[in-house]
Amino acid sequence: MSMRATVKSVLGEKNVRVLRRLKRRLSAQPAKPAKPTGLDAISGDLNKLAQHFKTDKWGIHRYTQHYQRHLGHLKNDSFNLLEIGIGGYNRPGQGGASLRMWKQFFPKAQIFGMDIQDKSFVDEDRITTFIGDQSDPSSLNAVVDKIGELDVIIDDGSHRSPHVLTTFATLFPRLKDGGIYIVEDTQSSYWPEWQGSEDLDAAHTSMGMLKRLVDGLNYEEFVVENYQPTYTDLNIVGVHFYHNLVIIEKGRNAEGSNKRSALKQRYAKS
């Protein structure tokens, strides 16, 4: 008796048919995907991507660990990211490292860069560059008009306080609700040679402006009579300070206050 006939006689015709169907199902299952290699193997780690693309966001600085935390939720989303300052200054063929890093980390995002120099050599699928001057509101608005809705804005431009303030005042209102606004290299705020100031309370520096945003988070607690909240008071829900890096979360800031119950004597007459 053959092996097949022996198995059939032991198991029975019905069980043999069941085994055949199971065998067909198992043979139809796709093979396990191979482990990713090359760039795909590190595409979820911004620190490693920064090193691969040779951007100073990791190494000279330690920014990508914070980017991983604050932007990781967008990993597989379709959205628009604009970075001001592409790098390389006026050196031909230099720059674009961080734009390439963002493209690899966000596989569905559109990555845009703006620089005062022509960096069009960086352009490729999902990376688009523009020439623009961050000290000029009309130039900034013209670039955003071409892009449309912005979910993430990164200021890695000149790092001069007047430029940082102009860029924030112009572009933050154009950031999507729920978006993220980032200012890099805030150390220049303390350097008079870079249009900063040795005065830690100087109002005209980028850090002076950014520190005021923290008070604005709590505008509902102010006891100043007839205080009128600013646009940033009403539209910032989080400000995160790191070494030379500030990350701002946009959203509706109107949680309310318990100041009238806590300060009953002050508000008894009102």
Query: Based on the number of CB atoms within 10 Å of its own CB, is 138 exposed (0-12), middle (13-18) or buried (19 or more)?
Result: exposed
Q: How far apart are the first and last CA of the chain?
A: 103
**CA angle at 128 for the pair 127 and 129, rounded to the nearest 5°:** 125
CA dist., res. 11 & res. 143, Å (int): 74
Catalytic site residue from 70, 159, 163, 240: 159
Q: Quick one: which of 60, 55, 134 has its CA closest to 96?
A: 55
Per 3-state DSSP, the chain is made up of helix, strand and coil in percentages (nearest 5) of 45, 20, 35
Residue 214 token pair: 């923290």
Are the beta carbons of 251 and 175 closer than 8 angstroms? Answer: no
In a 3-state reduction of DSSP, which class is residue 193? helix
In a 3-state reduction of DSSP, which class is residue 122? helix
CA dist., res. 150 & res. 80, Å (int): 5
CA dist., res. 248 & res. 53, Å (int): 26
CA dist., res. 151 & res. 61, Å (int): 24
CA dist., res. 74 & res. 79, Å (int): 8
Question: Is 61 among the residues known to form the active site?
Answer: no
CA dist., res. 248 & res. 240, Å (int): 6
Q: Which active-site residues does the annotation give?
A: 159
